[in-house]
Structure 1
Amino acid sequence: MALRRLHILLEGHAEDTVVRNLISPYLESLGWSVSSSLVTTKRPASGPAHKGGITSWRQVEKDIRLLLGNSSLTMLTTMFDYYAFPADAPGMDDRPTASAHRRVEHVERALAERIGDSRFRPHLVLHELESWVFAAADELGQLLGEALSLKLRRDVEAAGGPELVNDGFATAPSKRLAKYCPGYSKPSDGPLAIQDLGLEKLREQCPHLDAWLRTFET
């Protein structure tokens, strides 16, 4: 059986932790050889490149095309937040008036069409990585207190699921966490709670994530 090589292009260090500890082991159990890297956001004339964080589509597209130049790569995917994704990215300015899932799928299709390589399967986390933390409300509560988990569960129930906690500037999942718990640490607390929840239970609550992982199961 030919080796299947998958590369995941990531937005930041929290995503890197979740991929290394949760997603890569699962994909490797399916027979994938998984590698990952943070998107390069600045390439200075001298000194190291800056990694992580996205402010424009051009930054992302350059990394994608460089990675696809590797002919040994079977598939390239991404793990970027849909919340605050660059407005100049394909599909962002003509999103349909529809459900959040339909809107993010529209952007993902537009990204794939722009790149034009069948090996590229873009994925945007709906609405951001902190949505998965909301799915792990009980696990986060064990780290930071039951009062916090109660607030997260309340928001999830009101929205209809963790992926549907909205993307308003002041009400996105990350903004809510910062308000509810000023001491919350995105690089450590969130990934740890997600890992404690486990991938199976996370997928049960997050259908967009589940659909992305199914891509690699077929």
Structure 2
Amino acid sequence: MTGPYRRLHLLVEGQTEETVVNGVLGPHLSSVGWAVTTSLVKTKRPAGGPSHKGGISTWKQVETDVRLLLGDTSITVLTTLFDYYGLPADFPGMRNRPAGDAHARVEHVEQAFAAEIGDHRFRPHLVLHELEAWVFAAANELGLLHGPEVAERLRKDEELAGGPELVNDGPLTAPSKRLLRYCSGYAKTSDGPIAIEELGLDRLRARCPHLDAWLRSLE
């Protein structure tokens, strides 16, 4: 890598996100000049014991991790890879989201998140609606693992929604819930990342405009 050292740190929600960063996003970001590092959000910090990692249940746990990371002056830009679906109600921007368009709603929450932290190095990203939407984009690739009927169901849902990022965020109809219903053998931390990697980042970006906009902001 030539030029000044630029470190991009991704604070991620769980192991699946970390795997996708390592296998798909990280290599691309490294190719455009970033030194990429990652960490998982810490869910608990018990006194005298190790922290527990993965998942988000309160705004406070996220705020604590973000502010601690921003104390590291070697980080040029800090970003996030969290699911928009399932964010806690106390998260910035959640209570006053605009009605209607899903892209406008997630961007509103991202902007509120950035404003609450108030550091120019922080550029939050929320996956619309969750990382499993990217697996819907890779329906054919997942079908190679679990059969063509699974791929067909994902394609039909995506077409009805208007795109993989628009498969909605209902507690019974979010992408992850549909995957478990359609594919009893689906393994979240391995099958999804494999399918996404087989699809490839260029084709994933073409199907997921919110993801593409985030990556363009980092490029």
- In 2, Cα distance between the equivalents of 1:146 and 1:98? 33
Residue 80 (structure 1) shift: 0.2
Match of 2:172 in 1: 170
Match of 1:85 among 71, 83, 87: 87
Over the aligned positions, Cα root-mean-square deviation in angstroms equals 0.5
Match of 1:61 in 2: 63
Match of 1:17 among 16, 19, 36: 19
- In 2, Cα distance between the equivalents of 1:100 and 1:112? 19
Match of 1:206 in 2: 208
Q: Deviations for 1:145-169, whole angstroms, at most 9, x for unmatched residues? A: 0000000000000000000000001
Match of 2:136 in 1: 134
Match of 2:47 among 28, 41, 45: 45
Match of 2:107 in 1: 105
Across the two proteins, how many residue pairs are aligned to each other?
217
- In 1, Cα distance between the equivalents of 2:74 and 2:99? 39
Q: Deviations for 1:116-160, whole angstroms, at most 9, x for unmatched residues? A: 001000000000000000000000000110000000000000000
Match of 2:31 in 1: 29
Match of 1:124 in 2: 126
Describe the SS at the equivalent of 2:218.
coil
Residue 73 (structure 1) shift: 1.0
- In 1, Cα distance between the equivalents of 2:21 and 2:4? 23
Residue 183 (structure 1) shift: 1.2
Q: TM-score, normalised by structure 2?
A: 0.98
- In 2, Cα distance between the equivalents of 1:152 and 1:159? 11
- In 2, Cα distance between the equivalents of 1:100 and 1:107? 11
- In 1, Cα distance between the equivalents of 2:187 and 2:152? 18
Q: Deviations for 1:33-68, whole angstroms, at most 9, x for unmatched residues? A: 000000001001122110001000100000000000
1:6 aligns with 2:12: no
Q: Deviations for 1:175-203, whole angstroms, at most 9, x for unmatched residues? A: 00011111101000000000000000000
- In 2, Cα distance between the equivalents of 1:98 and 1:7? 32
Residue 71 (structure 1) shift: 1.2
- In 1, Cα distance between the equivalents of 2:95 and 2:74? 34
Residue identity matched to 1:87: A
Query: Following superposition of structure 1 onto structure 2, how do residues 183-198 of structure 1 map, counting pairs within 5 Å?
Result: 183-198=185-200
Q: TM-score, normalised by structure 1?
A: 0.99
Residue identity matched to 1:177: L
Instruction: Extract unaligned runs of 5+ from structure 1.
Output: none
Residue identity matched to 2:38: S
- In 1, Cα distance between the equivalents of 2:100 and 2:119? 27
Which ranges of 4 or more aligned residues in structure 1 deviate by more than 3 Å? none
Match of 2:74 in 1: 72
- In 2, Cα distance between the equivalents of 1:191 and 1:2? 32
